[in-house]
Amino acid sequence: MEKFAGKSIFRKVAIGKIFFYEKNTAVVKRTKIEDAKTELDRFEHAKETAKAQLQNLYEKALQEVGDSGAAIFEVHMMMIDDLDYNGSIQNMIESQSVNAEYAVAMTGDNFSTMFAEMDDDYMKARAADVKDISERLVSVLSGVDNDMGNLDEPVILVADDLAPSETVQMDKSKLLAFVTEHGSSNSHTAILARTMNIPAIIGVPIKKEWHGHMAIVDGYAGCVIIDPDEEEIEKAQKAVAEEEEKQKLLKALKGEKTITKDGKEIHLYANIGSVADTAAVLMNDAEGIGLFRSEFLYLESDTYPTENEQFNAYKTVAENMAGKKVIIRTLDIGADKQVDYFELDKEENPALGYRAIRICLTRQEVFKTQLRALLRASAYGNISIMFPMIIAVDEVRKIKQILKEVKDELREQGIPFKDVEIGVMIETPAAVMVSEQLAQEVDFFSIGTNDLTQYTLAIDRQNPKLDEFYDAHHPAVLKLIQMTIENGHKGGAWVGICGELGADLELTETFLRMGVDELSVSPTFVLPIRNRVRSLDLSQES
């Protein structure tokens, strides 16, 4: 038995087998082969294995996001059989007497470069597809199998680190806990752990040989126990049972109002990152969706999602919520959420760089495609649109002009839509300072406390070395939140909080006394927050 300490992200306990996840780091070496036929057979077998993997991913995506979201895997299955692509690989194996891994890697590089240099945008987008299928084939040929879709039992996921684009593709029903060596308590992986209500530990010196071993992840003690003894297992099982009992008691709050003892009622919504997360919103009895992070549609794709792909995703969520409010945040790419096909330049300080609304206002074709999809979907439910990373009133006016142009286009084409409510994220000190003026331009504010804290404290929330300096309860942050609520109300906008602080039970009373109208939290926090609100009496002195 070994015990390793780290930093806890979510206070809960999990018991299970470890799955060691590592990115495809197969080193492709050029090897001279004697039998070309044997190598060609290896390549053909790898193709069939890769297509089977893609078929599984397609079927999973079909259930979670529908036809449009699953289409990319169909494209990849077809590209694996492309005659020119296959011909190049086969010719290289036969004429140069090289191993299949090398032939696939070189062909992938050549075709990817060729597509990327074309003038046609559609063909340019195929560069990423060729790269993806080539990496998949090399993984199969090299015996590297880290496909999270192939898990046959729930596991504790151990990894060096996880990017947002990796976490969104995982089968969340098969994850018991996260353990990583790197990462921050404010990273998207940490947010995902809290969303899924599973324990997560960061800063653990991981070992590859743990793969397949039993382990306990103790989110209370902030440690991982490898090959635990009977006593530790019994203690962990008791903690799991106590947690389940607590959850049963919270479920009794389903259907109840989120209202204090003295009659102060607030709206309690949930944050989601995919269409599939809607089930968790309904299961946890949220009143609506306060933040749909639409950028995950882009992170999950190898090219720009089409208008119809986005429309189908938004429409599905709106219909599933059956008239309950669905606030969808427009594209928030950049900073820690990088997407290759956007071809963003490397920046010295990406958190302060070209991201979110700044991309949308300068790449209006991308922005208008999303706005068209959102407005079309509004005809099928109660959708509101929210814009991130606002720093000036002029930005909002530009957005409203673009939105008007899109509405005019839809009217001309006879496409139905509703006159949706619009709002902005308050996540910069600049936005707070002009919040009274901003409120006169929009219907609502949603305070993004993650970035607001980062920019107020001048601390990179992704840097684990700064965790000891990162104080989400800092008086300056709380004063800015108070100012936003007061100015929003003065200007006629309702004000909510959708950042991680919204789920901080220590601050629930503070936020209610500030006058917040809405809290939007990870689905698993809805009932604990409701329980906390219902225990408060704001007529009493705090």
Catalytic residue numbers, as ranges: 188, 498
Q: How far is CA 51 from the centre of its chain?
A: 26
Q: How far is CA 534 from the centre of its chain?
A: 30
Question: What whole-number distance in Å separates Cα of residue 338 and Cα of residue 270?
Answer: 25
One-letter amino acid of 257:
K
Quote the Cα angle for 510-514-517, to 5°. 105
Q: Rounded to the nearest 5°, which phi and psi values hold at 43? A: -65, -45
Q: Annotated binding site, which residues?
A: 293, 329, 427, 450-451, 461
Q: Rounded to the nearest 5°, which phi and psi values hold at 179? A: -135, 120
Neighbours of 117 (CB within 10 A): 10
Residue 214 pairs in a beta bridge with 17
Q: Annotated binding site for phosphoenolpyruvate, which residues?
A: 293, 329, 450-451, 461
Integer Rg of the chain from CA: 25
Judge whether 125 and 158 are in contact, CB under 8 Å: no
Angle between helices 121-142 and 100-116 (to 10 degrees): 170
- String of DSSP letters for 368-409: HHHHHHHHHHHTTSEEEEEE-S---HHHHHHHHHHHHHHHHH
Judge whether 485 and 433 are in contact, CB under 8 Å: no
Question: What whole-number distance in Å separates Cα of residue 496 and Cα of residue 176?
Answer: 31
Element (H, E) at 505: none
Strand order in the sheet with 214-218: 2-5, 223-226, 214-218, 13-21, 155-159, 175-180, 200-202, 7-10
Per the structure block, which two tokens stand in for 444?
Answer: 């609502």
Distances (CA, A) of 431 to 395, 435, 451, 455, 502: 11, 6, 12, 11, 19
